[in-house]
Amino acid sequence: MAKQKADFPVSDIRRYLEPGPIVLVSSAWRGERNIMTMGWHTVMEFSPSLVGCVIASGNHSFDLVRHSRQCVINLPTTALTDIVVGIGNCSGADVDKFDKFGLTAQPSHKVKAPLITECHANFECRIKDDALVNRYNFFIFEVVKAHVAPRPKHPQTLHYTGDGVFTVSGKIVSRRNLFRPEML
Amino acid sequence: MAKQKADFPVSDIRRYLEPGPIVLVSSAWRGERNIMTMGWHTVMEFSPSLVGCVIASGNHSFDLVRHSRQCVINLPTTALTDIVVGIGNCSGADVDKFDKFGLTAQPSHKVKAPLITECHANFECRIKDDALVNRYNFFIFEVVKAHVAPRPKHPQTLHYTGDGVFTVSGKIVSRRNLFRPEML
């Protein structure tokens, strides 16, 4: 399941995150590492490449991210469905999730948090703005490096609805011909 | 295409927004009304029911939302694909988009912005926090009233990837049996 990846422009990551997939956030701090599932995120800017997301303070990852000021946002496909669910249903306070789920912690290029080799894409992030962390657990990250597997072009991703149910991205619909060029 | 809707708990709207669909934002201010497409949004809290989103200041809707401090987030399904694209490719400075696209502006219950009858769900919103509007065009809304069509249970929604291409939500995957009850 290890995927070969290519560098990808950080200003184009909306391609993968704007559709709203569940993602895996990997982090590390002082010898500890962890992975959490995250469904509450949004692209905020192309350049600098900004992503805002909620990491609830009850999560074991919250302190790792807050103290290290870094993380990697990893994009799993449906091939990892049961692992995604497993990661969301145990705590890094009790287990090392890389070991438990047989995932590869690969060194990142620009941050110390490891990226997850088995995911389709990896976005290395640094905290850009923590003004809303205390009030809403809302972190604004800058994506400083992106790695994406070139194929498949449209990976099947998981989109969480709550209650244990995901929708899967399916058919691709292009309406490129109906867009004004500056709106693409 | 007009849909019968039922009241829906505002604390449960992640069911529709967490999967990351493109949505239509309707707003009104001093006799003007408008609709815009929006793909940059995230759920931020269950209760109060909070949604954060980016409305770029270049959009005609920006001032309507900022001054009225209200909007409706409407969820279109694939039945409205070409209308969604059309709305994203013209400006409310030039046209009334309700008229142009034959959409029904229905009075909301708790806000003055109209809701779009033809959408599957409508979430009436008031600005909760505008601390990040100047820096990032990022609005935090509280959903104060929700209306949802009871059927279909899993409507086909559009998820934008940029470049004129959408992915469509398809197959439903339940892993409810693998979740710890408190994680559902």
Per-residue pLDDT tens for B51-64? 999 999 999 999 99
Using CA atoms, how far apart are residues A122 and A25, in angstroms rounded to an integer? 10
**Which residues of chain A neighbour B54 with C-beta distances below 8 Å?**
42-45
- Compute how many other C-beta atoms are within 10 angstroms of the C-beta atom of residue B134: 9
What's chain B's average pLDDT?
Answer: 96
Percent of chain A with pLDDT over 90: 93
Q: What is the pLDDT of residues B3-47, one digit of tens each?
A: 689 999 999 999 999 999 999 999 999 999 999 999 999 999 999
From chain B residues 67-96, the ones with a CB under 8 A of any chain A CB are 78, 81-82, 85-86, 88-89
- The residue of chain B with its CA nearest to that of A133 is B44
Facing A169 at nearest CB: one of B82, B167, B177: B167
Q: Would you state the pLDDT for residue A137?
A: 98
**Which residues of chain B neighbour A121 with C-beta distances below 8 Å?**
none
Whether the full predicted model's pTM is greater than 0.90, yes or no, is yes
ipTM of the prediction: 0.96
Q: Do residue B170 and residue A175 have CB atoms under 8 angstroms apart?
A: no
The answer to whether A23 and A38 are in contact (CB under 8 A) is yes
The answer to whether A64 and A32 are in contact (CB under 8 A) is yes
Structure confidence at residue A1 as a pLDDT band (50, 70, 90) = low
CB proximity B56 to A under 8 Å = no
Asked if pLDDT for residue B139 goes beyond 90, the answer is yes
Asked if pLDDT for residue A97 goes beyond 60, the answer is yes
Residue of B47, B175, B177 best to disrupt the A interface, most CBs of A under 10 A: B175
Q: What is the pLDDT of residues B45-101, one digit of tens each?
A: 999 999 999 999 999 999 999 999 999 999 999 999 999 999 999 999 999 999 999
- The residue of chain B with its CA nearest to that of A78 is B173
Report angle CA B15, B19, B25 to the nearest 5 degrees: 85
The answer to whether B172 and A179 are in contact (CB under 8 A) is no
End-to-end CA distance of chain B: 33
The answer to whether A6 and A148 are in contact (CB under 8 A) is yes
